[in-house]
């Protein structure tokens, strides 16, 4: 058996692949062994005595199918779990997700002038203190706080309006009394009649 080590190396170089990908025709060993240059190897390639093997296929079809099933929730029962619950989905990750959702909402509301900076700060601190379990609860709390503040403001406005009205009435009364006193006792007698 003739050694075709040189020919294999030259063929790999000519065909730009590894030596393991080269196939040398076993029926044409004598002719191949005569080739000792790249030029000769190119001729053998042209004649079909030296061939570059096709790349092996590593199919992902089964893997894709398994992933698709897993995404639907198959093969994820108790017996398939290796890590602890915390390792599989850390509570910190859930917390981070929730905080980001709540803080994003607060920022959006503040930028849209739906809440002022004071309410933003108050709600931000409450979010950090684990008061709101999700976005819906936070939105409800904001609406409730806004309506409460509006109610307090309207009550305060009414109170203020009543005070100003009473003050004006008091001033008018005092002004009338002073006017009467300025006119003298005669005017008082006339008023009584």
Q: Where are the beta strands (DSSP E) in the chain?
A: 22-24, 50-52
Query: Which of 31-40, 136-145, 179-188 has the least mean pLDDT?
Result: 179-188
Q: Show the tokens assigned to 74.
A: 């198959």
Rounded mean pLDDT, 98-113: 98
pLDDT range class, residue 182, cuts 50, 70, 90: confident
How many residues in total does the chain contain? Answer: 193
Residue 135 has pLDDT above 90, yes or no: yes
Residue 124 C-alpha from the chain's centroid: 18
Query: What pLDDT was estimated at residue 190?
Result: 64
pTM of the predicted structure, to 2 decimals: 0.62
Contact 23, 48 (CB under 8 A): no
């Amino acid at each position: 058996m003739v050694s075709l080590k040189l020919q294999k190396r030259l063929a790999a170089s000519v065909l730009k692949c590894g030596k393991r990908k080269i196939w040398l025709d076993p029926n044409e060993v004598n002719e191949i062994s005569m080739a000792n240059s790249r030029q000769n190897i190119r001729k053998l390639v042209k004649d079909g005595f030296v061939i570059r093997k096709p790349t092996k296929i590593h199919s992902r079809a089964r893997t894709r199918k398994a992933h698709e099933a897993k995404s639907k929730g198959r093969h994820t029962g108790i017996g398939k779990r290796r890590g602890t619950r915390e390792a599989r989905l850390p509570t910190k990750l859930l917390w981070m997700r929730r905080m980001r959702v709540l803080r994003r909402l607060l920022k959006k509301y503040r930028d849209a002038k739906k809440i002022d900076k004071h309410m933003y700060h108050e709600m931000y601190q409450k979010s950090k203190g684990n008061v709101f379990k999700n976005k819906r609860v936070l939105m409800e709390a904001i609406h409730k706080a806004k309506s409460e503040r509006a109610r307090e403001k309207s009550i305060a406005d009414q109170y203020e309006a009543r005070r100003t009205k009473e003050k004006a009435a008091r001033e008018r009364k005092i002004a009338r009394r002073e006017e009467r006193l300025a006119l003298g006792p005669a005017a008082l007698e006339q008023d009584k009649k």
